[in-house]
Amino acid sequence: MPKAIFLIGPPGSGKERAIEISLEILYNVFMLTDFINKNLKKAKYKLLRDGTYFAEIPGIKGVWANAKNLEDCRKELQEVLEGWILLKIKEGERVPGFEMKFDRRSMARHA
């Protein structure tokens, strides 16, 4: 599997180090970020009578947030969505609209 090499650390400090990340992992990270952003754009927000904000993402049951201000509500909704995705993946359940790609041979070698 092809890999990408990144230098991390302060440039010119002599403390840079190279890390290798498989392109497969990078692909999944970018796809996950894209999935999260697309769904957050679908979010519906309401100002409740008590002055707090409520948000949900249509079509994703159980993903909602409630906070004192709109910005905190957005942040909480993103955290809830991320947690929901991780739980689905951990439980081996399908995440509608998202598919992780991975090399099963590579996973078998590292098992």
Reply yes or no on whether the pLDDT at 24 is more than 60: yes
CATH code of the domain in which 78 resides: 3.30.160.250
Q: pLDDT of 72-99, one tens digit each?
A: 999 999 999 999 998 998 898 888 887 7
Residue 45 resides in a domain: yes
**Average pLDDT, rounded, for the chain:** 83
Instruction: Give me the number of domains the chain comprises.
Output: 1
* Mean of pLDDT values over 66-72: 98
Residue 27 resides in a domain: no
Reply yes or no on whether the pLDDT at 36 is more than 60: yes
pLDDT at 31: 86
Residue 62 resides in a domain: yes
Residue 63 resides in a domain: yes
Write the DSSP assignment of the chain as a string of letters.
Answer: --EEEEEESSTTSS--EEEEEEHHHHHHHHHHHHHHHHHHHT-EEEE-TTS-EEEE-TT-TT-EEEESSHHHHHHHHHHHHHHHHHHHHHTT--BTTB-----HHHHHHT-
